[in-house]
Every structure is written in structure tokens, then in C-alpha cells.
Structure 1
Amino acid sequence: SNIGHAQSAAGVAGIIKMIQAIRHGVLPKTLHVDEPSTKVDWSAGAVELLTERRPWPEVDRPRRAAVSAFGVSGTNAHVIIEQAPATAPEEAAEAATPSVVPWLVSAKTASALRAQAGRLADTTGDFAPVDVAHTLLTSRSLFPERAVVIAEDHEGFDHGLRALASDGPAAELVTGTADVDGKTAFVFPGQGHQWAGMGAQLLEASPVFAAAMAECAQALSAYVDWSLLDVIRQTEDAPGFDRVDVVQPASFAIMVSLARLWQHHGVTPDAVIGHSQGEIAAAHISGALTLDDAARIVTLRSQAIGAHLAGHGGM
């Protein structure tokens, strides 16, 4: 693709054009050519103008294209672009896609918020939910009037958006006015907030959460004779949450890993607070305790409660 350009942006346009051509496997039609140059012997060799778009030939090598820029001063630039190698199998890409996605909608007024929700409901049906979520969060300004639609599929998003557009309620919809100057606090609870299977689906769906849980499991393994991941997945031989020396370290690990997931997505606390094992998690997230120190405290403390203190007023 030869780019004779009146400004430098034309060269960039040529690069973008050829990247898209490689991506889609299409040789683009040559534009603005009425007839081939008479200065070239087109009968010699196998070079010809692309008068019509055609599929990129299938060959056993990466696709390549060249973009040239010829300056009036005689300064020329030549760039060769090659198809990028596959970086990950489809299975891994699918596993990293969250099953539940939030769509953030914001506007300056409540009426504008409802109008935007209606437009989204009419135009987003053909796009992947995770792509819509990313675009809404990163490419639009955030205003005080806000709503979040949380769903797993287009049917859920459509239901939540149309409820927002009509100023009605929906299980998928959360509304409110943001305090743009407010601060964020992470609150970590104590025992009593756990439930069977908590974190198991997130462990499979979120690589960030899974990595944080693996770090917690490694830190806890020095003090316990059970596997954190087996407890979360509720495998047959794993101990249950009826044991205080299991539930407290496990819920500590869940809280730490959830905090790391929030931080990965850009939600960073200005303050942390917690109770019982939640206080230990808060101390670690704040940086006051290393993960190894926090794991030691939460496990030895819970073991002491179970063996000596529970029911005797020792706390």
C-alpha cells in the first residue's frame, strides 16, 4: 500500500488499514486508480493492482504487508507489518471472561440517564456484554446521576435497561447519585457472613481472584493441615465451615482475594475497617501486615478459639 501523503496522519491511516486487512484476511481494493501506470511493465512478474477486494491467500506462514511513505524532500519510510501470533487458546480466553458483568450508565440529569438507557437497550444487542461494559467504563465521561445494570446475558441487560428507561425497578438494576468527591472504604466482616460454596464460581471465572486465593492458600499451608481451595470447592474430604479453625482462615482468604480483585479493577480504598478475621484482612490490605504474618495470626487465633477459648469467656 503506497501512501503519498499531504500530512503525517495519512501514513498512520495506511498502517491502520493494513492491520485491519491482516486481521480480517482481506486484501483491500486499491482506491483512486483509474488505470495502471504506463511506467511499469505489468506483464513481467506477478505484481498487479488490486482493482477489487479479494480474500487473503491461505499460505503456511503469517500474513505480511508493507506500508511506504514517500516525502517530497526525498525522505522515505517503509514499514513491514506481520500478523501477530496467537497468544492464548480459546479455552483460556473464555475462562477469563466473567459470567456476570456490570454496565455503568451515567448522565447529568435523571431524564438524560433514562434516555441513555433506552438507547443502549436498542443498540447493544449484537455486542458481547463484556465489550459493552469496557466501552461504557473507559470511553465515556462519568456524571453524578448513575446506574449499574448487572446481568449475565442480553436478556438480563435488556430487562434492566428498559426498567431504567421507564423509571421502574428491576433485579438487575442499581441506581443512585454519586458523590464525585467522596472516598472509598473497604469493610471486612467477621464470622457469620460465610456460606457454603462462597467464592467457588469466582475461583473458576476470575484469574485475578484465583491467583490471590492461591497466594493465600500457600501462606495458610504452613499452619493448617487442610487445603484452602478444597474447602472453597467443598471437595469430599475437605473440612466444613462448622469448624472455627477452618471458617475464619477461609473467610479471611476470600476477603483478601475480593479486595485484590477490586483493586485490580481500579477500586482502591482510602480507608479499611474490619472485625475479627476481617480486622486481620483489613490490616493486610492496608499494608500493616504481610500476607504471611496475617495468615499466621488468623490461623493460630482461630485454632486457639476452637481449642481453649470458645464457650469459656476467654475471648
Structure 2
Amino acid sequence: NIGHAQAAAGVGGVIKMVQAMRHGILPKSLYADEPTPVVDWTDGAVELLAEAREWPAVDRPRRAGVSSFGISGTNAHVIIEQAPDEPTRTETTRDQDRPAVPWIVSARGEEALRDQARRLHAHVTRNPDLAPGDIAYSLATARAVLENSAAVVAADREALLAGLATLAEDGSAPSVVRATADQPGRTAFLFTGQGSQRLGMGRELHAASPQFARALDEVCARLDTELSHPLKDVLFAQPGSEEAALLDQTVFTQAALFAVEVALFRWFESHGVTPDYLLGHSVGEVVAAHVAGVLDLADAAALVAARGRLMQSAVAGGAMLAVQAGEEEVRGLLAG
């Protein structure tokens, strides 16, 4: 129901016409059972719609004019044209291709949160054909985030249902993460160090994400001024090629990790995911310092390249040892 239209004169007619185009139906003219005798209805092709009828599809878009006369003489006229058909949506990532999905549940109060978990559990149990990824998308994008929230994270439907059951019983499990108004959740990013590199890392995301591609290209361009070979050629090299072998040289290993990790951070950032805490190991420390704003890209790239060259120039054949012991115990073992 729309009251005095005023500045919104015609909005009801616009909504009606959009729906008419969408459904391919010309709606019946309301309150016009007796056409006015002032108009000669036999002259021309204009007629009232005494009944709803099909609006046939032809070789051009459907079009309609909407006129409205509102309060105090407000009037509006607009011509509406049918929008192009949307392309058929294709699912690019199947649920079985995802390592895990989050089901986010939110409510006002702990009891309401548990109730939401029970209701969602029952709904999914009754509808076994629902895809976990689709449920995750709807929960994350179409629900309000209230004072009490929890995320159930798992790789398959059975594990997600088990997490919901745990949440409904106020239990705890590694797959269930909670947040409240007085204890909100915190996000931390940990950037890895040397040893995690692999040939082709970032290639698929570079092709699929403009944000990731821009960030990676920018970092690689800056590092290329410090390196003897274009970094992206090394990253995306074919196995067995000369460029592929360079990835195992420390100077290129650390540069490649720095570039990919910075680009991943920018990709998450473009989707609104920003961390409360940043941590890094080895070259990952430089990534953390850069994305935190401590080092600009030019300084960070120069540091990464210099660090890689120095470490690569060290005497070959060394080793690394990790000792799980306290300082005093280690000092005693090192004595003499």
C-alpha cells in the first residue's frame, strides 16, 4: 500500500511494470470496467485490458510508459525498457573443491544463539540436497551480525552438522568459534617464511582475481629492479625450465614469497577482511612490517632482495637445529 505519493508519484506503476515484464503478462486495468465514452475506442490501436493477457516475446525488448499524477499536481512519466536476460549463473567452485566453509550463526543472547543453531541443524537435516557452500554464502551475506555470533567451520556437511549440534548444546569444539559483544572475535594473519614456496603459486588466483593480479604485478615490478630475472617468470615458470630452477635459489625464494603473501593480503583486504594482529616468520616478518605500514613497498622490496642475496652467499652445507629446552639447560649443554 502506498499513501500520498508526492515526490514518489509513479513508483507503484514502475514496480507493477517491472513485474509485468519479468513475468511476461499484461495486467488487467483496474477500476475500468466501463471505458469512458469521451474516448473513441474504435479509432486507433489503444484499448483497455479488461483481462490479464500474455505479453508475447518478440524481436525487441518489451517497453512501457508509466504515468502518475500525485498530490498537489505532482506528475511523472517514464518509459521503461525490459532489461537484458542475465547470463546463466555457473558454479565455478564445487563444495568438494573447497577445503572448508564457515556457517555463521548470529543472535541476541546465548540462548537465542543456541536456538538458531538448533533451527539451522533441523533445516539442513530436513533438506539433504542443500549445498554447504550455498548455505555458507547466505548466512554470511544475507543475515545481520548481532551481539552474539559463532562460526562453525568444516569441510563437509556431516562435520558442519556436528559443529551445529555442539553449538546448540553450548559445547566446545575446534570447529566452533564464538564472539560476543564484550568479547568480540579477533583476526590474526601469520605470514610464513622460506620453505613454503612452490612452483606456480598464485597462478590460478592471478588469472581469476583482478585485485590479486594488480597487487602481485605491482610487487613483482618493484622487486624486478632488485633481481637479475623477472620474478613473475620464475613464479609461473614451466616445470623443468631454467626459470623453474631459480625458485629454489634463496634470493628468488624469498622475493617470491614476499610478493605472493603481500598480494594475498591485498586480496583479503579488497574483500573487507582486515586483521587485528600481524605476525611473520623469517621473510614473513618483512611482509607483516610492510602491510602494517612500517615499511613502504620500495624499502621492503630492497630489504627482501638484499636479505636474500646475503643468505644465498653464505657457505653452503649448513644446517638448522630446533631445540625444545629452556635457556639454562641449553647454556649448560653449550659449556666448553
- Please indicate the TM-score interval, normalised by the length of the shorter structure: 0.7 to 0.9
2:148 counterpart of 1:144: yes
1:221 is displaced (CA, Å) by 2.4
Q: Report 1:102-121 matches (<5 A).
A: 102-107=102-107, 108-109=109-110, 111-118=114-121, 120-121=123-124
TM-score if structure 1 supplies the norm length? 0.74
The aligned residue for residue 14 of structure 1 is: 13
Of 295, 301, 308, the residue aligned with 2:301 is: 295
Contact 2:191 2:285 in 1 (8 A): yes
| Residue of structure 1 in register with 2:179 after alignment | 178
Q: 1:11 to 1:234 in 2, by over 3 A?
A: same
2:258 aligns with: 252
**Letter of the structure 1 residue corresponding to residue 105 of structure 2:** V
Cα distance in 2, alignment partners of residues 243 and 73 from structure 1: 79
Whole-angstrom distance in 2 between the partners of 1:45 and 1:288: 76
Amino acid at match of 1:239: A
2:325 corresponds to = none
Change in Cα spacing, 1:79 to 1:217, as seen in structure 2 (3 Å) is same
Greater radius of gyration (CA): 2
Matched, 1:190 2:188: no
TM-score (norm 2): 0.70
Name the amino acid aligned to 2:313. A
Distance of 2:178 and 2:135 partners within structure 1:
25
Change (3 A) 1:102 1:217: farther
Please, which of 35, 42, 45 is the counterpart of residue 37 of structure 1? 35
C-alpha change, 1:189 and 1:47, in structure 2 (3 Å) is same
The count of residues paired between Structure 1 and Structure 2 equals: 297
- Whether the 8 Å CA contact 1:185–1:269 is kept in 2: the answer is yes
Do the aligned residues in 1 keep the contact of 2:163 with 2:175 (CA within 8 Å)?
Answer: no
1:256 deviates by 0.9
Cα distance per residue 1:104-156 (max 9 Å; x no partner): 233443632432432552569578946861553353234434124466xxxx4
1:37-186 equivalent positions in 2, closer than 5 A? 37-38=35-36, 39-50=38-49, 51-60=51-60, 62-83=61-82, 100=98, 102-107=102-107, 108-109=109-110, 111-118=114-121, 120-121=123-124, 122=126, 129=133, 133=137, 136-149=140-153, 156=156, 158-167=157-166, 174-180=175-181, 181-186=184-189
Deviations 1:53-110 (A, max 9, x none): 52453234x54333322124222112233445689x879x877999746442334436
Assess, with a 3 A threshold, how the Cα gap between structure 1 residues 197 and 134 changes in structure 2: closer, same or farther.
farther
Indicate conservation of the 8 Å contact 1:95/1:205, yes or no: no
Counterpart-to-counterpart distance in 2, 1:135 and 1:31: 41
Contact 1:21–1:28, Cα closer than 8 Å, also in 2: yes
**Unmatched segments (≥5 aa) in structure 2:** 168-173, 320-336
Q: Name which of 238, 244, 247 aligns with 1:239.
A: 244
Q: Which whole-Å CA distance do the structure 1 matches of 2:12 and 2:231 have between them?
A: 52
Task: Give the Å deviation of 1:254.
Answer: 1.8
Aligned equivalents of 1:48 and 1:128: distance in 2?
52
SS in structure 2 at match of 1:147: strand
Whole-angstrom CA distance in 2 between matches of 1:6 and 1:84: 28
Q: Structure 1: which 5+ residue stretches go unaligned?
A: none
8 Å CA contact retained: 1:183, 1:270: yes
Shift of 1:257: 1.5
Question: Superposed, which structure 2 residues align to 1:202-213 within 5 Å?
Answer: 202-213=205-216
* Aligned counterpart, 1:264: 270
Q: RMSD in angstroms over aligned alpha carbons?
A: 4.0
Bigger drift between 129-138 and 175-184 goes to 129-138
Give the whole-Å Cα distance in 2 for the aligned partners of 1:165 and 1:57: 48
For residues 209-254 of structure 1, give each alpha carbon's deviation from its aligned partner in whole angstroms, at most 9, with x where no partner exists. Answer: 2332222222222233444444444523332442212221111122
Partner of 1:222 in structure 2? 225
Paired residues of 1:124 and 1:132 also in contact (CA < 8 A)? no
CA distance in 2, matches of 1:132, 1:184: 19
Cα displacement (A) at 1:293: 2.9
Instruction: For residue 302 of structure 1, report the CA deviation from its aligned partner.
Output: 0.9
